[in-house]
Amino acid sequence: MTVDSESRSILVCEDDPAMVRIFQFLLRQNGIKEVLTTASGQQALSLALSHRPSLILLDLMLPDKDGLSVLKELKENEVTRLIPVIVVSGKEAQDQVRQAMMAGAIDYVIKPFEPMELGSRIKSFLERLNASSSGGTPRGLGGVV
């Protein structure tokens, strides 16, 4: 059985309203109706547990908690560990990228980014997710934008 994008929820954890708006725009363009947003890393963990979104877009510099810690906690929790996470961050050092990928992110997008490029990646991810009969986790989107 396939699941369409409209029935999926995506969690955006980002403290910059301008970036939240562009994520919402890109997700809407890909048919996503439910976008959960929070600027708090702690609240992102709670929302991930309660809503089990299909995807999380995660910033690394959050006001209350380091995004990398959020990612690690998501991956250590039995309930949330399989939720795919795309890190979207202004931190461009290779070491940061490596740490995020090692912690379990499926992709790392560096700000500023080309909206069309991120939109394509989200589209590709959703298509693979929707086509997956198990609803499992498509991995290996690969690379750094």
Partner 1 sequence: MSEGSEAGLDLSEIVGMYKEDARRMIQDMRQAADRWQEVREGGPARQILRRLSHQLRGSGQTYGFRRATLVSKALEQIIQKLENGKLSADERVQRSVATKIDLLNSVFES
17, 135, 136, 142: which one binds partner 1 (CB under 8 A): 17
**For the chain, what's the residue count?**
145
Q: How many angstroms separate the CA atoms of 129 and 59, rounded?
A: 22
- Which range binds partner 1 by CB under 8 A, 15-23, 40-48, 75-83, 128-136? 15-23
Residue 101 binding partner 1, by CB under 8 A: no
Half-sphere exposure of 125 (CA within 13 A, CB side): 28
The residue whose two tokens read 């301008």 is 18
CB closer to partner 1 out of 21 and 98: 21
- Which range binds partner 1 by CB under 8 A, 16-24, 34-42, 66-74, 76-84? 16-24
Q: Which residues in 44-83 contact partner 1 (CB under 8 A)?
A: 61
Residue-wise burial string across 8-17, b where 16 or more C-beta atoms lie within 10 A, e elsewhere: bbbbbbbbee
Which residues would be at the binding site for partner 1 (CB under 8 A)?
A: 16-19, 21-22, 25, 61, 90, 111-116, 119
